[in-house]
Structure 1
Amino acid sequence: MAKKGLHRFVYSHSSKKFKKNTDSGLNVMDKVFCDPVHGQISFPPLCVEIIDTFLFQRLRHIKQLGFVSYVYPGGVNTRFEHSLGVGFLARKFMNCLKLQQPELEITEKQILCVEVAGLCHDLGHGPFSHFWEKFIHRADHKEKVVFKHEDLSLQMVDYLLKDKLKQRFEKLKKQGEEILSENDIEFIKKLILGKNEEDSDHHFLYQIINNEDSGLDVDKWDYFMRDCHYVGLKCNFDYNRLIFNARVIRAEDGKQHICFRDKAIHNISDMFKTRSDLHTAVYQHKKVLIVERMMTDALVMAFDKLSGPDGDKMNLVEITKAAVKDGGYEALEKYAILIDSVLFYEIRNSKRPDLLESKKLLVAVEERSSTNNFYKLVDVLDADNTDQKKNYKDYICEQLSKIHGLIPNKECHQLVKLETMDIHWGKKELNPLDYIFIFEKHHPNQAVPLSKMKTDAIYAIPEKYRHIKFLVLTSKMENEFIDALRNVCKRMKKESKIYTE
């Protein structure tokens, strides 16, 4: 029963006002969301101010799963609800650690910073999420820039927290609410990156949002469950079991790590298996990769031909690079208009001759059952590493040109396309379970590497933690060319002893 005089304030979407809820003993002003995965979740006023900005609301228009909906129609969830979910799980995890281990002296400010990091970790995503990073790499012929959305997330955090929301935060301060200092903002940025080089006593805080050590973090907990929910697959792990079986212990490296009870080993293993299964069945489904490649080719042809809201030409690569480098209002505003529907329909509905080839690819994606412009999957080749792609393609094109003599080598490089399918447990060839610490019931303050535990559960599967394949695609639909390409692939597998399923 709530204590007299203490109330919880719940945000009403219909009235736009805060209402008292006398069923709680909290004196906070929270906004409540009904989430399809986590149920009722809430955020404090400072987080609400962040959520109600243009840069955050933009995430409503960025699909979490890129082009997965072309295979799984339900896979249309967005970065917006995922970001809310990560922020919610971050606070939940922190509150649980604080309750179970008072000696950690976790402060409300630390909890708030971790929560804000969870909310803001994906602000920098471009159209169709991770697709944008691949597109920028392929489209920027001059520098081959390695663009990471985290870099842009940091710029947006700086702009929002230090500039855009400064006056609103001052108003919250006058109302007695917790606000963020310059040091807090820098701390939030480090939490997003998961980078901690100095603070060994608080190393565990950097493992909540983006666990660079093992990959076991709330970001993955949310999107595994959320993505399974939307595509209609079963999720085989329970994040609540992990949260309530977690404990912060100083490990052999001298740092405070988040460790887990030995009885949670199977659940941890299931989480990484879920990751591998999702990549195999959903994220890197063959048809998804084909659609992704067609969309990439369409945008590469059109990236400097599209028009902005003011009618001026906008170079998609330069806009993205400027936002990462500058981070100012003007640069971020230009980048923020780049959302899924703007790019897709700008090309799809265009009648301009210079966008005709790009439009054909988008039409083929939409109408693949009635068009022959949808890229043909000819074969799948196993590989030892991703760097082999160039050698594979050079060999294939050389064989097609010299032996079959169908087309020149240069033209062949345009018609034959190799897409990488890279399936692993999160740390490429390594077993991520080897980077997790476990504790036993009778030794709650002793962190033991999971690899040293006397159990075979984590090593039951798989024998190999990374599998790399190349999808051999072609945009040329003539049967003679496709047959020749298929024969070259068969000869290649035979000569180099490469096998495929």
Structure 2
Amino acid sequence: MSNPRSVMLTEEQIEAQSEVPTEEQSVVPTEEQIEAQSEVPTEEQSVVPTEEQIEAQSEVPTEEQSVVLTEEQIEAQSKVFNDPIHGHIKLHPLLVKFIDTPQFQRLRNIKQLGGNYFVYPGASHNRFEHCIGTCHLAGELVKLLKRKQSGLNIEDKDVLCVQIAGLCHDLGHGPFSHMFDLKFLPSFPDVRKWTVSYCIKISQHEKGSEDMLRYMINDNNLQEEAETKYGLRISPDKTAPGKDFQFITEMIKGPSGNDKTYKGRDVDKHFLYEIISNERNKVDVDKWDYLARDCHHLGLKNSFDHIRFMHHLKVLEVDGVRQICVRDKEASNLYELFHIRSKLHLSAYQHRTKISVETMICDAMKLANNHIKYCGRDGTEYTIAQCVNEPSAFIKLTDHVFHEILHSKIDCNAMRDAKKILERIQKRNLYQCMGTKKLTGTSDEVNIIIYFANNKYYFFHKFRKNLIKSHRCHTFEPPNDGAVDKLIVFSE
């Protein structure tokens, strides 16, 4: 069977078909037609809405009348952020509403690595960009699972809740990040409401994140926006919280209640709780972002490929429970995740100069605690430590407390001593490390202890099987069981 002959138009034919209409063919409207089309409506023709119509159009839709935006409308209202780690990030318009609040903007003034900025000049990044990066990775992962495994029944509301949790998971960080909740707050047990059992719980800034999220929603009327436009139930009421609000806070701080069970989503969707803060194996998007971001700003190489790792994840049923699992061929990449984390702890997070600087800042804040105060919304004044009990005061507490103490006009012995400590930091006259000594360890959990001249011992972190498992700080008496690996002595 022969192929049909193709018909090629000549240049003349093409030109003929694309000709501009001739003078005879063109239709020029008359002056009467132009005037008729441009006439202004007469008083009888003009329609002026009545007061009732204006009021009806401006009414807030009820729950039954709520209008959920279409995908096209959401796409049009989304915003693009240029991130140095993940490139161009497009965020949902509701996420932008959360970002454009005083509670979230506060994170611009909280250093991600605290005292490391005094050691690594590039470590100037803040919690603000880390939270946006975590939100992005959380969205990418949950959307990937939704596309690959439709049987998981992941809804758009689930995706948005996971992204909000990633965005708001660090709202509760205080000045200099972990220095505040791991070093400063333990000195004030009477106001440390974030901690249940401090010797067991590593960090409770997550509890502060829940408090700040509740304050953010109420203070910026985000509940109405989320419910009417996107169908999210994020009522922050403590006695009867919205189901989606409960889901978001559980992803940030874990299950609530004495039974320690998740209530925000049914058991078939409990794998979603492993995305932001994975209590099962500690592999989560929060870690992916801060490892990549910290390496970038510290000038260290990141050997973990989170993009490749993400594409090899799948939800499987293990022992009757749905879990996020990874392909066996990604074992070496997974090893790199914990290897680079261990490297960062040794090179940066536990750097002895960083420890010295943070200890000095902490000592200054303790001395100034009763003199530097912040007003809550009711006019009550709160000390630095008491701010954790009142979000409207805590929102004012950032790394700026360093200069508030340094330039304070309050004249008393405690403030003078606090200023002297901070002036020493500026002149690089730091607490000096006098040396380290290896001791005999009798346990697979080996502790590092840092000793300062004020005869206090700081339980700083522990090793388990040569990999750093957790990070703590607590004042306590020297242990008698010999489970000490290293003694670092500092002198003021």
Give the Cα separation in 2 of the matches to 1:172 and 1:154. Answer: 17
Deviates more, 1:274-283 or 1:302-311: 302-311
Contact 2:271–2:324 (CA under 8 A) maintained in structure 1: yes
| Residue aligning to 1:350 | 408
1:469 aligns with 2:486: yes
1:295 aligns with 2:349: no
| Residue aligning to 2:237 | none
1:6-405 matched pairs, under 5 angstroms: 27-140=75-188, 146=198, 148-161=204-217, 163-166=218-221, 168-171=222-225, 174=228, 176-181=229-234, 182-195=242-255, 197=261, 199-252=266-319, 254-308=320-374, 314-320=382-388, 322=389, 331-341=390-400, 343-351=401-409, 352-354=411-413, 355-368=415-428, 371=429, 374-382=430-438, 384=441
The 3-state SS of whatever aligns with 2:114 is: coil
Q: Relative to total residues, which structure has the larger helix share, 1 or 2?
A: 1
Quote how far apart the aligned CAs of 1:265 are: 0.7
| Residue aligning to 2:44 | none
Mind listing any 5+ residue stretches in structure 2 that lack a counterpart?
A: 1-71, 235-241, 472-482
Cα offsets for 1:348-388 (capped at 9, x unmatched):
223524311111111111212xx4xx212112244647997
Contact 1:418–1:471 (CA under 8 A) maintained in structure 2: no
The 3-state SS of whatever aligns with 2:154 is: coil
TM-score, reference length from structure 1: 0.69
Contact 1:121–1:192 (CA under 8 A) maintained in structure 2: yes
CA RMSD of the aligned region, Å? 3.0
Mind listing any 5+ residue stretches in structure 1 that lack a counterpart?
A: 1-23, 323-330, 394-411, 430-465, 476-501
The 3-state SS of whatever aligns with 1:46 is: helix
Quote how far apart the aligned CAs of 1:171 are: 4.7
Q: What is the aligned-residue identity percentage?
A: 35
The 3-state SS of whatever aligns with 1:340 is: coil
Give the Cα separation in 1 of the matches to 2:344 and 2:204. Answer: 22
Quote how far apart the aligned CAs of 1:136 are: 3.5
Give the Cα separation in 1 of the matches to 2:178 and 2:360. Answer: 15
Do the aligned partners of residues 116 and 467 (structure 1) sit closer, same or farther apart at CA in structure 2, a change above 3 Å counting?
farther
**Which amino acid is 2:224 matched to?**
E
Give the Cα separation in 2 of the matches to 1:171 and 1:84. Answer: 20
Give the Cα separation in 1 of the matches to 2:246 and 2:136. Answer: 21
Contact 1:194–1:209 (CA under 8 A) maintained in structure 2: no
**Which amino acid is 2:403 matched to?**
Y
Give the Cα separation in 1 of the matches to 2:486 and 2:158. Answer: 43
**Which amino acid is 1:347 matched to?**
I
| Residue aligning to 1:400 | none
Cα offsets for 1:392-440 (capped at 9, x unmatched):
97xxxxxxxxxxxxxxxxxx962666563545646459xxxxxxxxxxx
Contact 1:65–1:75 (CA under 8 A) maintained in structure 2: yes
Contact 1:87–1:115 (CA under 8 A) maintained in structure 2: yes
Give the Cα separation in 2 of the matches to 1:346 and 1:236. Answer: 40
| Residue aligning to 2:238 | none
**Which amino acid is 2:392 matched to?**
E
Contact 2:382–2:393 (CA under 8 A) maintained in structure 1: no
Do the aligned partners of residues 29 and 119 (structure 1) sit closer, same or farther apart at CA in structure 2, a change above 3 Å counting?
same
Do the aligned partners of residues 57 and 472 (structure 1) sit closer, same or farther apart at CA in structure 2, a change above 3 Å counting?
same
Do the aligned partners of residues 194 and 139 (structure 1) sit closer, same or farther apart at CA in structure 2, a change above 3 Å counting?
closer
Give the Cα separation in 2 of the matches to 1:389 and 1:215. Answer: 22
Do the aligned partners of residues 203 and 48 (structure 1) sit closer, same or farther apart at CA in structure 2, a change above 3 Å counting?
same
The 3-state SS of whatever aligns with 2:95 is: helix
Select the structure of larger CA radius of gyration. Answer: 2
The 3-state SS of whatever aligns with 1:234 is: coil
Do the aligned partners of residues 278 and 423 (structure 1) sit closer, same or farther apart at CA in structure 2, a change above 3 Å counting?
farther
**Which amino acid is 2:327 matched to?**
R
| Residue aligning to 2:51 | none
**Which amino acid is 1:170 matched to?**
E
Deviates more, 1:60-69 or 1:345-354: 345-354
Contact 2:162–2:248 (CA under 8 A) maintained in structure 1: yes
Give the Cα separation in 2 of the matches to 1:339 and 1:109. Answer: 33
The 3-state SS of whatever aligns with 2:177 is: coil
Do the aligned partners of residues 468 and 117 (structure 1) sit closer, same or farther apart at CA in structure 2, a change above 3 Å counting?
farther
Do the aligned partners of residues 179 and 467 (structure 1) sit closer, same or farther apart at CA in structure 2, a change above 3 Å counting?
farther
| Residue aligning to 2:21 | none
Count of residues paired in the alignment: 379
Give the Cα separation in 2 of the matches to 1:428 and 1:136. Answer: 18
Give the Cα separation in 1 of the matches to 2:468 and 2:273. Answer: 17
The 3-state SS of whatever aligns with 2:454 is: helix
Give the Cα separation in 2 of the matches to 1:305 and 1:344. Answer: 13
The 3-state SS of whatever aligns with 1:414 is: coil
Contact 2:448–2:484 (CA under 8 A) maintained in structure 1: no
Quote how far apart the aligned CAs of 1:240 are: 0.7
Quote how far apart the aligned CAs of 1:293 are: 1.2
Give the Cα separation in 1 of the matches to 2:176 and 2:250. Answer: 25
Cα offsets for 1:218-261 (capped at 9, x unmatched):
00000000000011100001101111000000002x21010111
